[in-house]
Structure 1
Amino acid sequence: MDYADQQIPVFTALNDVFGGLVPSLANIERWNGLAEEFERRYGRKPSYIARAPGRVNLIGEHIDYSLFGVLPAAVEPDILIACGTHGEESCTVVVDNLHPKYDRKIFEPATTSVSKPTISGDAAHTEEWHLDINKKELRWESYVKAGYYGVLERFFPAATTLSSGANQGPVPVDLLVTGAVPAGSGLSSSAAMVVASTLAFLAVNGKLDPSNVDKITKGELVQMSMENEKRVGVNSGGMDQAASVMSDPASALYISFYPELKASPVPLPHGVVFVCANSLVVSDKAVSAKRCYNLRVVETLVAARVLARSLNVPLGAEERVTLREVVGRSVGEDIQGGKVLSADALAEALQSIAKKLDVLRSRDGAAVAAGRSGVTLEEMIEMSGLQRDVFQKVYLSWIEVEATEFELYKRTKHVLLEALRVLQFRQICLDASTAADSAGTGDMGVYQKKLGKLMNESQESCAELFECSCPELDQLTKLARSAGAFGSRLTGAGWGGCTVSIVAEDEVDGFIAKIKEEYPPYKGLEDGALKEAIFATRPGRGACVLKL
């Protein structure tokens, strides 16, 4: 069974949460402490604790929203939310956070009347849920509200709920949140928060009970969480949510998004450990989205249309095609007819099309003479073949961006070659597993070096082509290589956050000690903060719920 088709695990013992391993004393204390604090604050024990881990993306940065596959793994740091119902008749939500800087928040979903056109052209009025989320002033409770939205929309349609009475509506909820995934670290604290919130609201409303005929799968939870996070202002491609939900404790995860969401395990070579190091530069996707994340989404989407035109790939008049779809169609892929490219065929197509990207460069003589490849908005519209009003509707009406030049060539070259690196990384891991099965673990160094080389190439591409690195990330990756890492790269959206390095198991302690000593921002950090800033990790379990 594909991981996307599996049910959300609901456990009754903490040992099961950690994949059958005996949890550490620190984990037991943390979970018990959360339950006890919930009882102290709310006067009763919680019914559930929802857990969603952060993730580290081993390779495949900024290609998920172009629908290319990625290769992440869950990490041990996670978001926990203890939850239970309270006695009020309304569907009020009370949410507290163990971190003292976050105040208690109380909110209740409201309904709003929306006018929608019918087939006949007349306007029909319907009721929809509304939760106030300020995208410009991002607050921690916005992620909780975002998680609630999907549950309300799927299980409690506003019009039906209003007409059937309070007994058919969502229950009142108390929540207590604690998090070990540093915000803005590139380990996807935002996605973990949205996934955990969504799970908490599902659990307290009985939607994860084995007897419930409308249970959702892991794949459906990923889709819900993706849509939920967009309400905070980030147009996520789905990797973060998929990794948080579907990861396996025994392997990394190859996640493909086209033609449908699928996830399969990828065993890592024996003796491989990944070390995450926080640059301590906060990367907040939602705050900088217009200039960074969302801008890259628009650049890659417009580039896909321009590239499709140059390759004579048929397009719908207002189709917002992705680069993955263009690559497939250019070599005869037929999704409707069941003809989907194999990994080898996709890799061959990527290599071929990556040589045909000059059409995405600026055609302005002055810009070319100055060595610039970016295009202006006017150039971009002309290259798309669309009228200005249609271009605005297709590419700019649904997302906010700020730019004077758009780097279609650089972004596309990164995306295509990064997608190729993911396929190569996956194959090396599979080859290593086959070699270990036939000849024992032996010397896995050759495979580790190959993986490291791909990671280094990814970092160079992120820095120079996608321009999502920063000086601190560049410095950390260089220090990591000099400290003995086979390879090192940024992980997550970039513009701050974490690096991930591949290190031999027997060298991890010395590697971490050297980075602590040589990375200037780590000097003066207390032991606890330092352990959170840099740590070794292996793949961990995805999201789950503990029933108390």
Structure 2
Amino acid sequence: MAAQLPIPVFTSLDQAFPDLQTAAVQGVRYKEVVEEYEKRFGHKPTYIARAPGRVNLIGEHIDYVLFGAFPAAIERDILIACGPSLPSSTSGAAETLTVGGVRAENLNPKYAPQTFAPMLKTAGPSAQEEADAASTVHAESAWHLDINTRELRWESYIKAGYYGVLSRFFPAALAETDKQAHPVPVDLLFTGSVPSGSGLSSSAAMVVASTLAFLTVNNKLDGVTKGSLVEMAMENEKRVGVNSGGLDQAASVICTPHSALYVTFYPKLDAELIPLPTPRTSPRAVFVCANSLVVSDKVVSAKWHYNLRVVETLVGARVLANKLGITLGPNERPTFRVILSRWLGAPESGLDADGLKVGIERFLPEVEKLRPPREGRPAGEEGVTLDEMVELSGLSKEQFHKVYLSWVEVETEYFQLYKRARHVFTEALRVIEFREVCLRANAASGELPEDTLVKLGELMDQSHESCSTLCESSCPEVDALCRLAKSAGAFGSRITGAGWGGCTVSLVAEDKVGEFIQKVKEGYEPYRALEGEKLREAIFATKPSAGAFGELFVALLLDMCSCWGQ
């Protein structure tokens, strides 16, 4: 299985990027980060750790109810040049040569240099630590680093990556008695091409790359599989307040060139590599990511947006279980995926994709039981009030609040249980159908017909319509971008990521990309003034993990750049 494979380690750029054109382009970039590292720290880096962003091709807002999704790694990535700090380092050496000390800098001047060090916990929490407990995450380990989750800074993601390495590989008993068990001081230089806040998982890429950097510099990479790195990165990202289900990390770690992942979450996290047909279709196709430039402040808007969707789906699962005669305990909080399995009488080990498809198709008519009566509510309103929702749950107000509202803040007049359920089950079905199209294409020989792209595009269009009207996780600007993409020739276009802004992903013929981007630029008002690099940051084509971009770690020969970028 892909998750059991070791983390790839390369010793030259042509191993990491088999396509010579890609290797030449990346060679210039790697050369820049290596040379700048030496200027800043006074010595050459030992390694470059790399983690790509990801685009979710289909399967939005269903991972937290434990249905599968279909992400792919993208060519945009985070690079970290890294190595042990040396006494001859330039300014900052005194700080970084403390036990496990870190000096982190970024090629982007927007991000200020940072110096910090972990501390061994030899006593209980200080008064200041207790006072900050509500907003600071502390490691449940021998080591301590502050991460203020109320004001996330770029170094917060570095610290999050460091925590997992400290906790797993530097236990307290050894650290207190054996200096060899201490983490080494580290110099890090970051550069990245994943747009932040765009829904392409720049934060997950930062945490994955940081985790890899600390593993490699401390010689702890042996025995670490792709699956264990996913688990570490998931746990690490929780330290910045992100309760991830593993979708982003799995895509960033496990994907391979020209493939996507069918990621499932029930009864446990699993990932299946699925070859994409796009390199063999006529015409060949790529995915184009377009940033709406609308940023949704997830902290501020969560009670109306993301957190509300989570609560609506969880309550919807209980209400539907009641209507189907499925008995639940008063403290249970099952998801739609769990209710489906209980209704089907499926074993806890779960169903394969074919069995799940049949099960969803059988179950879909039952979702209509969540549609409320029209009497007594505004025309067209399909939601229920809080009082109605509590009554439908079969719980007392006190128990309902304990199970569904005590841990999260939400705010709305009408809770859309029916719409959210309809989105979840139809989207889960589309993910399986997308997978089927890819597998049928992979089983066929020779060049693939354009109809393959048409079928994938239709599923993407249906997904966006559902996200916009049933999940209601889109926004006018994203809807406009999808319409523009279709009119500009895309086979399909949809929102990707958490939503309420962020990016769209469109399936486009490779030989039409330039024309496509120009048409979108002319039609989307926020793009009209963008030129050059600013436009390329906003809208760009990508091949999933093309040129081995799914490989996450590159061992750096000290003269690796001598033949590139000259």
What's the TM-score once normalised by structure 1's chain length? 0.89
Q: Report what 1:118 is aligned to.
A: none
Local SS of the residue matching 2:384: coil
Q: Report what 2:503 is aligned to.
A: 498
Residues 45-54 or 131-140, more deviating: 131-140
Q: Which amino acid aligns with 1:305?
A: R
Instruction: Quickly say closer, same or farther: Cα 1:175–1:259, change in 2 above 3 A.
Output: same
User: In structure 2, which of residues 87, 92, 100 is the aligned counterpart of residue 91 of structure 1?
Assistant: 100
Shift of 1:490: 0.9
Contact 2:78 2:190 in 1 (8 A): yes
CA distance in 2, matches of 1:343, 1:227: 27
Residues 126-135 or 264-273, more deviating: 126-135
Contact 1:184 1:284 in 2 (8 A): no
CA distance in 1, matches of 2:35, 2:518: 36
Instruction: Quickly say closer, same or farther: Cα 1:94–1:460, change in 2 above 3 A.
Output: same
Local SS of the residue matching 2:147: coil
Alignment of 1:258-269 (within 5 A): 258-269=266-277
Q: Which amino acid aligns with 1:311?
A: L
Local SS of the residue matching 2:198: coil
User: In structure 2, which of residues 544, 548, 552 is the aligned counterpart of residue 544 of structure 1?
Assistant: 552
Shift of 1:52: 0.7
Shift of 1:463: 0.8
Shift of 1:292: 2.3
CA distance in 2, matches of 1:10, 1:316: 49
Contact 1:133 1:231 in 2 (8 A): yes
CA distance in 2, matches of 1:401, 1:170: 42
Local SS of the residue matching 1:52: strand
Shift of 1:233: 2.3
Q: Report what 1:106 is aligned to.
A: 115
Q: Which amino acid aligns with 1:96?
A: E
> In the alignment, does 2:212 pair up with 1:199?
yes
Q: Report what 2:259 is aligned to.
A: 251
Shift of 1:312: 3.1
CA distance in 2, matches of 1:500, 1:37: 34
Q: Which amino acid aligns with 2:157?
A: Y
Contact 1:235 1:294 in 2 (8 A): no
User: In structure 2, which of residues 425, 429, 434 is the aligned counterpart of residue 416 of structure 1?
Assistant: 425
Shift of 1:100: 0.6
Superposed CA deviations along residues 146-205 of structure 1, whole A, max 9, x for unmatched, are 222222222234x43554354323222222111100011111111111111111122122
CA distance in 1, matches of 2:169, 2:309: 34
Instruction: Quickly say closer, same or farther: Cα 1:523–1:412, change in 2 above 3 A.
Output: same
Alignment of 1:322-341 (within 5 A): 322-335=335-348, 338=349, 340-341=350-351
> In the alignment, does 2:162 pair up with 1:148?
yes
Contact 1:361 1:373 in 2 (8 A): yes
Shift of 1:242: 1.0
Instruction: Quickly say closer, same or farther: Cα 1:177–1:460, change in 2 above 3 A.
Output: same
> Which runs of at least 4 in structure 1 moved beyond 6 Å after TM superposition?
none
Contact 1:138 1:287 in 2 (8 A): no
Shift of 1:34: 1.1
Task: Name structure 2 gaps, 5 residues minimum.
Answer: 87-96, 126-139, 557-566
Shift of 1:397: 4.4
Q: Report what 2:460 is aligned to.
A: 455
Shift of 1:252: 2.1
Q: Report what 1:518 is aligned to.
A: 523
> In the alignment, does 2:295 pair up with 1:282?
yes
Local SS of the residue matching 1:23: helix
Superposed CA deviations along residues 29-54 of structure 1, whole A, max 9, x for unmatched, are 11121122122111211221111101
User: In structure 2, which of residues 120, 143, 148 is the aligned counterpart of residue 134 of structure 1?
Assistant: 148
CA distance in 1, matches of 2:347, 2:124: 41
Instruction: Quickly say closer, same or farther: Cα 1:434–1:537, change in 2 above 3 A.
Output: same
Contact 2:17 2:23 in 1 (8 A): no
Q: Report what 1:300 is aligned to.
A: 313
Contact 1:53 1:74 in 2 (8 A): yes
Q: Report what 1:37 is aligned to.
A: 36
CA distance in 2, matches of 1:252, 1:394: 36
Residues 502-511 or 532-541, more deviating: 502-511
> In the alignment, does 2:365 pair up with 1:355?
yes
Alignment of 1:287-436 (within 5 A): 288-335=301-348, 338=349, 340-361=350-371, 366=376, 368-435=377-444
Shift of 1:350: 1.5
Q: Report what 1:469 is aligned to.
A: 474
Q: Report what 1:220 is aligned to.
A: 228
Shift of 1:225: 1.6
CA distance in 2, matches of 1:52, 1:325: 33
CA distance in 1, matches of 2:298, 2:484: 26
Q: Which amino acid aligns with 1:184?
A: G
Instruction: Quickly say closer, same or farther: Cα 1:226–1:290, change in 2 above 3 A.
Output: farther
Contact 2:246 2:269 in 1 (8 A): no
> In the alignment, does 2:247 pair up with 1:234?
no
Superposed CA deviations along residues 490-534 of structure 1, whole A, max 9, x for unmatched, are 111111111111122332232222112221111121211112222
Q: Report what 1:446 is aligned to.
A: 451
Instruction: Quickly say closer, same or farther: Cα 1:410–1:266, change in 2 above 3 A.
Output: same
CA distance in 2, matches of 1:151, 1:299: 36
Contact 2:99 2:118 in 1 (8 A): no
Contact 2:48 2:80 in 1 (8 A): yes
CA distance in 2, matches of 1:392, 1:150: 34
Q: Which amino acid aligns with 2:366?
A: K
Superposed CA deviations along residues 389-429 of structure 1, whole A, max 9, x for unmatched, are 54444434444544454322222211111010011111112
Contact 1:70 1:422 in 2 (8 A): yes
CA distance in 2, matches of 1:21, 1:387: 65
Alignment size in residue pairs: 522
Shift of 1:227: 2.2
> In the alignment, does 2:192 pair up with 1:184?
no
> In the alignment, does 2:512 pair up with 1:507?
yes
Q: Report what 2:137 is aligned to.
A: none
Superposed CA deviations along residues 327-354 of structure 1, whole A, max 9, x for unmatched, are 122111112xx5x323222112212322
Local SS of the residue matching 2:168: helix
Superposed CA deviations along residues 130-161 of structure 1, whole A, max 9, x for unmatched, are 4322222222111112222222222234x435
CA distance in 2, matches of 1:499, 1:257: 24
Q: Which amino acid aligns with 1:94?
A: R
Superposed CA deviations along residues 48-70 of structure 1, whole A, max 9, x for unmatched, are 11111011111111111222111
Shift of 1:258: 2.0
CA distance in 2, matches of 1:404, 1:107: 46
Contact 1:185 1:283 in 2 (8 A): no
Contact 1:234 1:294 in 2 (8 A): no
Q: Report what 1:79 is aligned to.
A: 78
Q: Which amino acid aligns with 1:465?
A: L
Q: Report what 1:4 is aligned to.
A: 3
Q: Which amino acid aligns with 2:450?
A: G
Shift of 1:260: 2.7
Instruction: Quickly say closer, same or farther: Cα 1:290–1:104, change in 2 above 3 A.
Output: farther
Contact 1:3 1:262 in 2 (8 A): no
Q: Report what 1:46 is aligned to.
A: 45
